[in-house]
Homo-oligomer: A and B are copies of this chain.
Amino acid sequence: MFRLDHHPSGRHFLQIPGPTNVPERILRAIGRPTIDHRGPEFGELGRAVLAGLRPVFRTEAPVVIYPSSGTGAWEAALVNTLSPGDRVLMAETGHFAALWCRLAGRLGLEVEQIGGDWRHGVDAAQVGERLQADAQRRIKAVCMVHNETSTGVVSDIAAVRAAIDRSGHPALLMVDAISSLGAIDYRHDEWGVDVTVAGAQKGLMLPPGLSFNAVGPRALAAAETARLPRSYWDWREMLASNRNGYFPYTPATSLLYGLHEALEMLAEEGLPRVYARHRRHAAATRAAVQTWGLETVCQEPQGHSPALTGVLMPDRRGADALRKIILERYDMSLGQGLGRLADQAFRIGHLGDFNDLTLCGTLAGVEMGLAAAGVPHRPGGVQAAMTLLAGEAAATADE
C-alpha cells in the first residue's frame, strides 16, 4: 500500500471551502480512545455536544447529529417531513442547491425549481410569488441554500422568511447552512427556519463525517404524518435517545470528541468575533481578486460569502490547469469549479481555523499560480489584501 505520510516539506494549504484545515487541538481530541457509547461517560459527552450545538444554530430547538456526510442531512430533512409526491419549491442558486433538487427528485418528491444564474442569491420576491400562486397549498416545503459553497454567494434567509410570511403560505422552510455554520451569522429561530441542514467539516473545523438537522416545532409536527420511508434518518428515535445524551445506534464517537472541542473553541473566541474574522478575510480576498483584474462569481454586493470566494477565469476556462499548477508548485488545494462552472471558476476557501498570515500565504499561492499558468492578471493582489488587513487590524486593535 502507499504511504499516507509522504508529503513535500511544509504544511499543505487546504484552501478548498471545506473540509477545512482541522486545528491540531481538534485532531488531538479525535485521537482519544473510543469509549462505551452506552456508558455514563458517553452520556456526559452526548449531553455536552447536544446542548453546545444549539447556540451555534441560534436555536432553542433540538439539533440532531448524524454519523454521515452533509448529503445525508439533506436527505434526512426531506424524509422526516414529507410524503411521496409532495411538492417542494427549491431555488437553484448553484451546484449544491442543484444537487439537493436532484436528491429530492430521487426520493419521489415533485420539485418545483426557481432557476438562477449561479451568481446571485435566492430572489425572495420570486419565492413569495410562487407561494402566492400556489392556491391549493400543494407546496409543502421551501428549500434553499444559505451559503452556496459552489459559488460563494449568500442568500438572504430573513428576506425569504418575510416573503413566505407575507404570502401566508404554510410551507416549511428548510435551509442548507452546511458551509455557513460557525462561519457566517446564522439564526435558525429568529429567521423562522423549520429545518436547518448542516455539517461539521466547514466552520466547525472537523474532519468530515458528522451532519446535523436543527429541527423546529413545525417540522417535528410534520414528522408525525410524513410518509416517506425512513429509519436511519428518523428523528423520533434519535430525539428520544438524545434526551439522555445517547443515540439509537452507534455514534461516531471520535468525531463527537472533535465536535466537543470545536464547540469549546467557538465559545472561547465568541461567535461575533468568529463571524467578523470571516468577513474580514473575505474582504481581503476580494481586494486581491479585484487587483488581479479578475471577477468574483458573486455579482451581488450584499451576497459575497464570508466563507469562500468564487473567482471566474478571464476567458471562462483553464481553472483546472491553474489549480493543478498551484497544487504541484505551491502545495495548495483550491476548490474546483463545479457543475456548470466546471473549469470556468475556482474557489478560495477562507473559513474555519484560519488567520491573516495563512490568508496572505494563500493569496500569494494564487497570485504566483496565475503567473505560472500564464493567466492574464495584474500583480499586487497580495499587497492589496495586506493593506486591507493592516488597516482592519489596526481598527480592531483600537476598539
> Is the beta-carbon distance between B354 and A10 smaller than 8 angstroms?
yes
Beta-carbon nearest neighbor of A385 in chain B: B364
Instruction: Give the total of A residues in contact with B, Cβ under 8 Å.
Output: 114
> Is the beta-carbon distance between A390 and B368 smaller than 8 angstroms?
yes
Q: In the assembled complex, which residues on chain B have CB atoms less than 8 Å from the CB atom of A52?
A: 1
A144 lies within 8 A of chain B by Cβ: no
Query: Per-residue CB proximity of A211-246 to B under 8 Å, as 1/0?
Result: 000000000000000001111101000000000000
> Is the beta-carbon distance between B12 and A35 smaller than 8 angstroms?
yes
Query: Per-residue CB proximity of A355-399 to B under 8 Å, as 1/0?
Result: 111111110110110011000000110110010011001100100
A190 lies within 8 A of chain B by Cβ: no
| Among B31, B108, B201, B260, contact of A31 (Cβ-Cβ < 8 Å) | B31
> Is the beta-carbon distance between A231 and B106 smaller than 8 angstroms?
yes
Q: In the assembled complex, which residues on chain B have CB atoms less than 8 Å from the CB atom of A9?
A: 269, 274, 277, 353-355
Q: In the assembled complex, which residues on chain B have CB atoms less than 8 Å from the CB atom of A2?
A: 44-45, 48
A residues touching B (Cβ–Cβ < 8 Å)? Answer: 1-2, 4-14, 16, 18-25, 27-40, 44-45, 48, 52, 66-72, 75, 84, 103, 106-108, 199, 201, 207-209, 228-232, 234, 248-255, 257, 260-261, 263-264, 268-269, 274, 277, 327, 329-333, 336, 353-362, 364-365, 367-368, 371-372, 379-380, 382-383, 386, 389-390, 393-394, 397
